[in-house]
Structure 1
Amino acid sequence: MKKLCLAALVATTLLGCNAGDDIVEHGGIDVDNLSQTDIQNYANITADALTVVAKAAKDCAENLPVGNSNECYIPEIQGNIDIAVAQGRIKVEKQTDRVVIHTIEAIQFTTHNAITNGEIISLSLNDKTDNDYIMTMNNSNQVTFKGVLVNTAENDAKYWSTESLSPLTYQYNIKEVHPYITNGSAIISGKDKQHFTWSANENGDISVTR
């Protein structure tokens, strides 16, 4: 079953696996042996990918009545985000005080980030991957999330999960085409429960601490 889940994570939504945390626990990145530069790069990739999903969700839920849902493809974003989206689709559900977001098709993207070598990265925020994998955005644009990322193009795939510790606020500068997340923190976890924390300041700058 675990091998089937690994293959499904690369392809789509891990139907019926509920194994995301277990996959990371046994096949995740070796955080303790990463350099400070490497963990900064992992944090930057993760923050950028989450920002792309947050913007897509904000646009997808625009003018959506409470109690309704909508599905949207995740588009390319111009500006400061170093991500080229290959594919991805989300479902948003409008509630009174928040929007609930899941990836129907995991977002797949490439980036110039040094740790990826231009390979394809996938981000899944889907409760079929694991019961608590989700993103939410409240009416003040505060975002919480838990999901899993994988470097899908490697023969020995690398997995890591991320979970918000305190809500991050989604912001968008229309003039500069500049989406970013600010004023919050999250954790990145790898194998054997190894982890580090990343934070975004009021300008959207990402910092890391072990």
Structure 2
Amino acid sequence: MNKFILAAFITTTLFGCNSNDGEDIIVDKVGLDISALTEQQKQDYAQISTDINAFVLYVAGTCVDKQEQINADFTTLRCNIADHLTDIAKTEYSTITLVDGKLDITRENNARFIIKTDEDVKFKAPTISSDTLRYRLSSDNSITVQISGEDEQILTTSFRGFYTDGSLSDNGSWTTESIKDQSFIFTDDENTQLIALTEGQAKLIGKDEKSYSWSTDTMGKVVLK
């Protein structure tokens, strides 16, 4: 049996389908081998893992804006990514194409939102994979958005998520998480249609609990630590 499938079966049995413990064990045992990555590959994985969060935030923001026109007092919202593929902006330092997925958005108050996935976000990123990638935000994994400012809103965000690459049978998963107290700022330039997560720090965790970290500059470009 394929090692990834075996690990997934064992951890699902032990911890249940929505357990981050199970995902962490999969990554630790048969996850992405960071020690085998070149510096350029590390750069690419970090940039994609950061920018996919910008895309999710952009789609979620579009859904929230439309829902507020219908019901300004909503607290929960289901958002189908497939309904917004023509609305998508772009990132400057990565090539990502969203395919599908469903988001569950919870508004805790007027300034704080939590985003999870009801169905994995599926996307393509040819710099790191020839196959469709999946991004899961479930259980303790999520994207958190905090809104501040009056005249000009500032969106501060943190995230933790689980990635799977179907083209890598034995080492096709990893997790990324923003570093505490080093949250990102979501930027959306209406003139250029560029979106980015800027001025934050995150790390990628792969096989054998190996990890590496990075920050993003004021334009959203990854700088490896």
Report TM bin, short chain: 0.7 to 0.9
Which residue, out of 164, 176, 190, partners 1:162? 176
- DSSP 3-state at the match of 1:24: helix
Instruction: Please report how far the alpha carbon of residue 67 of structure 1 lies from its aligned counterpart in structure 2 after TM superposition.
Output: 5.9
Cα pair 2:8 2:26 within 8 Å, conserved: no
- SS of match in other structure, 1:141: strand
Cα deviations by residue, 1:148-182 (Å, 9 ceiling, x for unpaired): 11112333351110000121011101111111110
Whose Rg is larger? 2
Q: Provide the C-alpha distance between the structure 1 equivalents of 2:57 and 2:175, rounded to a whole number of angstroms.
A: 17
Q: 2:9 matched to 1:4?
A: yes
Aligned twin of 1:126: 138
Describe how 1:79-118 pairs up with structure 2 within 5 A.
79-80=90-91, 82-96=95-109, 97-113=111-127, 115-116=128-129, 118=130
Q: Which one of 28, 32, 47 corresponds to residue 31 of structure 2?
A: 28
Partner residue of 1:138 out of 117, 126, 146: 146
Identity score, percent: 23
Distance in 2 between the 1:5 and 1:86 partners?
29
Deviation at 1:91, TM superposition (A): 0.8
How many residue pairs get aligned? The number is 197
Aligned twin of 1:178: 194
Contact 1:66 1:95 (8 Å CA) reproduced: no
User: 4+ runs of 1 displaced by more than 6 Å?
Assistant: none
From the superposition, tell whether residues 203 and 3 of structure 1 become closer, same or farther in structure 2 (CA, over 3 Å): closer
**Do 1:67 and 1:95's aligned partners in 2 also have CA atoms closer than 8 Å?**
no
Distance of 1:31 and 1:146 partners within structure 2: 18
Q: Equivalents in 1 of 2:59, 2:89: separation in Å?
A: 13
Partner of 1:69: 76
Kindly state the Cα deviation for residue 61 of structure 1 after the two structures are TM-superposed: 2.2
1:55 corresponds, among 58, 63, 67, to 58
**Whole-Å Cα distance in 1 between the matches of residues 171 and 131 of structure 2?**
11
- 2:17 pairs with one of 15, 18, 21: 15
Structure 2: distance between partners of 1:65 and 1:28: 42
- Looking at structure 2, the residues matched to 184 and 141 of structure 1 have their Cα atoms a distance apart, in angstroms, of 12
Match of residue 151 from structure 2: none
- How far 1:65 moved relative to its partner? 4.2
Rate the CA distance shift 1:94–1:31 in 2: closer, same or farther, 3 A.
Answer: same
Counterpart selection for 2:166 from 140, 145, 152: 152
CA contact (8 A) 1:189 1:196 kept: yes
Q: Does the CA contact (< 8 Å) of 1:61 and 1:99 recur in 2?
A: no
- For the aligned residue pairs, the C-alpha RMSD in angstroms reads 2.1
Unaligned runs of 5+ in 1: 8-13
SS in 2 for 1:38: helix
